[in-house]
Structure 1
Amino acid sequence: MELLAAGRASQVYAIDDARVLRRCEWNTEAEARLMAYLREHAYPLPEVHEATGGDMVMQRLAGPTLAASMAVGETTLAQAARIQDDLLTALAAIPAPDWLPTETRGIDLGAPNAILHLDLHP
């Protein structure tokens, strides 16, 4: 499989033209459930096909990242900030499900009264 991207704690591999494998250091099953819930509320996320342990198979999306778009001048810093603000605002407007975990990756989040994206980046 071709490595498409790597971050602090996960790698993304191409499976084919329609799917990617994200391999993480944590169990992805709760995250996949939350992603499906958010998609039901029209939040823009790739579809999750399967999540088992640290592996998540997701819909492969085409196009530049926001960072790449900024690097070539297609998107200004102000536009990028607005896009990220809009995403966070839309996420905050979705009611937190009662099954949302109160702890993740060693962080105590308290009672689930909001959904937080702990790693939103361009």
Structure 2
Amino acid sequence: MECSLRCVIVRAKSVFISTKEELYKNAEQFDFAMPSLAVMAAKKEAKIELSTAPFDPRFPNQNQTRYCWQSYVDYHRCRKLKGEGYEPCEYFRKCYESLCPFAWVEKWDTQREENRFPGKI
């Protein structure tokens, strides 16, 4: 028997739940506990805002490697000059986190810690 997210199996038959009120009204009929479905129905859907680095006219090409590198360097330069809590530096962090592969960032972080990073920060 196939059942979607809006379906709860109750005593060998399917009951389709369209609202959380129906879920709680029919809860005593469940043969087994389904906390994940109850939690999903009770929670409001959180709106997740996905964004990436905006267009930068310095890097107009499809290859965004230089944009990634420059954002990483700019972020760490900004933190060095303005301090850890300076909010505008977060713009550069968001840019490099969305553009750079995670392996590159790990490598660059390791190089910075070992004072071998090739960029001027």
TM-score by structure 1 length? 0.25
Q: Which has the higher contact order (CA 8 A, sep 6+)?
A: 2
Query: Which one has the largest radius of gyration?
Result: 2
Higher helix share: 2
Higher strand share: 1
